Amino acid sequence: MSVEVEGDLIRFSYGGARACVARKGCTLVSFVVNGDEYLYLSEAANLSSKSSTPVRGGMPLIFPAFGKSYLESLKAVQQHGFVRNMAWDFVIAEVLTERTVARFRLSHRQCENEQQYISWCQFYGQRIEFELSMVFELFPDHITVDTSLVNENVSELEFQFLYHTYFRVPCVRDMYITGLKGAKYLDRLQTRYRLDTSPMLKVEEQTDKMYTLGEANREIDILSGNYNVRLTASENLSDLVVWNPWKEGAAKMKDFEPKSSYRNMCCVEFGAVEGTTLAKGGRWRCQHTITII
């Protein structure tokens, strides 16, 4: 059980679990339990806080825009937002009786020279004053991420949110995702809405599906040989994206290496992408847990 700061990386452990967070985007880049790594990280990922590109892999935070947003307030913001580009403050890490906790923070003060933040402010005609915090709680068999947003000055602040998590799997063709039966989804490659009627989802080609989760879809399992995880999240994260670029998509991304590693990863991402509003002085919170099963 320990905490180590190595430049832009904060490493912490508890029992047989180890985690690493990069200050760049406050990105969880490693989650290891009993020697097995459960997150995919591209070999070309740049973890430096001075890098001009976000981390490819791990768990980047998508805020305030998902994709190229259709919301008027976010149309000028780049795809997937800008907080994943920022160097977050590492606040503190503590080894407690039952877990190790690491805390990070980002505010508008760190974003004032970021063009995407400036563009976001222009919609409201004023500086957006906000604070984001990320708290990672590491247990022997799971990790919980707690995120909160405070809106300090805008009457009604609109945003989208997503944990863009890349999971490592031995072979994506042998992977099954369960817990999505009965959920409606948008196939973003075909722009078609469908209903998932299968107890298991297999990923065998380029995939980009966005699910709307119901009460029966609150536990999502990724099953792949001995690499099995259970995903849960707070009820306000009612959207779930399943994404794999496959061979063609991987070839187009400069920082996706090796190109063949699409075979060993799949993104399964809890979020709130329909658009959430937060009143002045309000606090919005969400939570996501990855448990080894």
Residue 8 has pLDDT above 90, yes or no: yes
Mean pLDDT in residue range 140-158: 98
Q: Annotate 188-227 with DSSP letters as a single string.
A: TTTTEEEE---SEE---S-EEEEEE--GGGS-EEEEETTE
What pLDDT, on the 0 to 100 scale, is given for residue 146? 98
What's the whole-number average pLDDT of the chain? Answer: 96
Q: How far is 232 from 219, CA to CA, in rounded Å?
A: 5
Residue 87's DSSP bridge partners are 24
Nearest Cα neighbor of 145 from 14, 275, 238, 28 is 28
Each residue's pLDDT tens digit, 10-63: 999 999 999 999 999 999 999 999 999 999 999 999 999 999 899 999 999 999
Mean pLDDT in residue range 95-106: 97
Q: Is the distance from CB of 87 to CB of 110 less than 8 angstroms?
A: yes
Residue 111 has pLDDT above 90, yes or no: yes
pLDDT-based confidence at residue 80 (cuts at 50, 70, 90): very high
Pick the CATH number of 3-292 from 3.40.50.300, 2.70.98.10, 3.40.109.10, 2.130.10.10: 2.70.98.10
Give the percent of the chain with pLDDT over 90: 95
Q: Is the distance from CB of 130 to CB of 281 less than 8 angstroms?
A: no
Nearest Cα neighbor of 167 from 291, 47, 281 is 291
What pLDDT, on the 0 to 100 scale, is given for residue 98? 96
Q: Kind of pairing, strands 200-201 and 227-233?
A: unpaired
Q: How far is 34 from 268, CA to CA, in rounded Å?
A: 22
Q: Answer yes or no: pTM beyond 0.85.
A: yes
Nearest Cα neighbor of 232 from 278, 176, 289 is 289
Residue 69 has pLDDT above 90, yes or no: no
Q: How far is 75 from 34, CA to CA, in rounded Å?
A: 44
